[in-house]
Amino acid sequence: MQKQRVTVTEMAEMCELSRARFYQLLAKGFFPTPQHDDHSNRPYYDIDTQQKCLRCKDSGLGADGSARLFYSITKPRQRR
């Protein structure tokens, strides 16, 4: 279940990216721009833009039309 609004940090976690990497891709236009709260001017993603961000990450096709490859998250190797 998705929240109505999430912060940029929460969106980065949902995309399984570090906050720094998410901001890099956001600055390049790969992810859609967040909206800003009227009172605090804090950036957030509503449900629609959350889904767009997740689609961008899953498909590798950005909001700007660029393509990216992402490493898949795998289990760490077990030591013998």
How many Å apart are CA 50 and CA 48, to the nearest integer?
Answer: 5
Class of domain 1-80: mainly alpha
Annotated domain spans of the chain: 1-80
**Gap between the Cα atoms of 75 and 78, Å rounded:** 9
Smallest Cα–Cα separation from 27: which of 55, 69, 66? 66
With b meaning 16 or more CB within 10 Å and e meaning fewer, what string describes 55-78?
Answer: ebbeeeebbeeeeeeeeeeeeeee
Please give the model's pTM, rounded to 2 decimal places: 0.83
pLDDT tens, position by position, 36-80: 998 999 999 999 999 999 999 999 999 999 999 988 766 666 676
Is 18 a residue whose pLDDT tops 70?
A: yes
At residue 56, what are phi and psi to the nearest 5 degrees? -60, -45
